[in-house]
Amino acid sequence: MEIISRHQLLTISIIYQIGTTIIFGFASGAGRDSWLAVLISTCLGTAVVWIYTRITHFNPGLTYIECYPAQFGKLLGTPIAWLHPLLFLYISGRIVADIKNLVPTTILPGTPPWVILLFFMLVISYGLFAGIEVMGKLTEIILPIILLIYLIEVILIFSSGVVHFDNLSPLLDKGWGRIWEVVWPLGIIQSFGESLALALVWTLMNERKRVGRTMIISSLFAGLFIAFTDALAVAVYGEEIFKRATYPMYALIQAISVSDFITQLDATGVIYFCFMAFLKTYIYLFATIRSIQKLTYSNSSRVFIFPVVLIALFMGLTMAPNVVEHIAVVQKVIPYNPIYLSLMIVFPVLLFLVSWIRNKSGTAAS
């Protein structure tokens, strides 16, 4: 049985939740108030994550997936549980497609995308084979490096003299409307609903009681991080460009130009993104494999690695012919897609209530 420590869970969650939003952002619709939208999403999202952790708390010993059949009965609970690995698989396919649309267009224009993705999936497979313990150690080592690189980026941005804080004001002159548009449902789903996949990891932590606290710390930190980056992006580019940018954060790195010496560091941004995407995909595939393992009562998870990776690769390759369509799906379809909403918000809330009530009556009776 693998065990990860609290610190490892923290580092995994932080990197995961900062994840791909650091490049795509979800709040560009809110213009210059995006950072505010992010902060609000953070508060609400942290509450959602807390609900997830409470569910595992009320069902001791069971992974998140097993709570559904346990609480809702086998007939209803098992199909709901099965929806999760399918969703996770789809989302990991999305991230693979993200890479397919980003890397060949920015840093490796001559290389066929399937080779790039194949390499990616190979490393992911090795990581899956090695186990989550190894990934925990990996993130432990790499998180400080990531933060350091980010700090250097920020310093370089300020040194490039492109930051204009007056871009950020006036605040809220277009009203709260567009903020709410972004926060619900996209904001909550994008960074915090996706933490659902982390729930499969929680049972492997060595101090179960501290899971909730760890996740709250990580969610808040990630939210602040993204809010800051958003604000910086607006400060550099102004509202209009920010709203139209395909990759708002990536655009930030493109702005670095220190005395003509350090310029054009786009590739670093892409590499940064690749690593974040790597971890997110890893966690999603790990969650998928673990869910399938639990739902089919198998002893070993290794047998599922190959098919799951292959399916994710195939989906990613065929998902979107270009980045515009891909992002359009995120903006227009996903927020209203019943799968996302139900799995990430509706069902957990129900599960939480049911588990809570059962737990209360259980302790009252005994």
Q: Which of residues 7-36 bind other proteins (CB under 8 A)?
A: 7-8
Which residue matches tokens 């996903």? 334
In angstroms, what is the minimal distance from the CB of 234 to other proteins? Answer: 26
Given a contact cutoff of 8 angstroms between Cβ atoms, the answer to whether 319 and 97 are in contact is yes
Is the link from the previous residue into 185 a cis peptide, with omega within 30 of 0? Answer: yes
Residues 32 to 61: which contact other proteins by CB under 8 A?
A: 60-61
Q: Does 134 bind other proteins (CB under 8 A)?
A: yes
| Closest to other proteins by CB, 88 or 242 | 88
Closest approach of Cβ 77 to other proteins, in Å? Answer: 9
Task: Work out which of 55, 326, 344, 355 binds other proteins, going by CB under 8 A.
Answer: 326
- CA 312 – CA 318 distance, rounded (Å): 10
Nearer to other proteins, 179 or 344 (CB): 344
Sites for other proteins among residues 198-237 (CB under 8 A): 203-205, 208
Q: Which of 112, 114, 119, 155 touches other proteins (CB under 8 A)?
A: 119
Using DSSP bridges, classify how beta strands 257-258 and 262-263 pair: parallel, antiparallel or unpaired: antiparallel
Residue 351 and residue 63 in contact, taking contact as beta carbons nearer than 8 Å: no
Task: Note whether 165 binds other proteins by CB under 8 A.
Answer: no
Q: Which residue has the tokens 């933060």?
A: 147
Among 112, 307, 321, 362, binds other proteins (CB under 8 A): 321
Q: Give yes or no for residue 169 binding other proteins (CB under 8 A).
A: no
Residue 296 contacts other proteins per CB under 8 A:
yes
Phi, psi dihedral angles at 252 (to 5 degrees): -60, -45
- Per DSSP (E only), the strands in the chain are 257-258, 262-263
Which of 191, 141, 231, 170 minimizes the C-alpha distance to 340?
191
Residue of 320, 344, 345, 351 that binds other proteins (CB under 8 A): 320
Q: Which of 83, 162, 163, 255 binds other proteins (CB under 8 A)?
A: 83
**Using CA atoms, how far apart are residues 83 and 297, in angstroms rounded to an integer?**
17
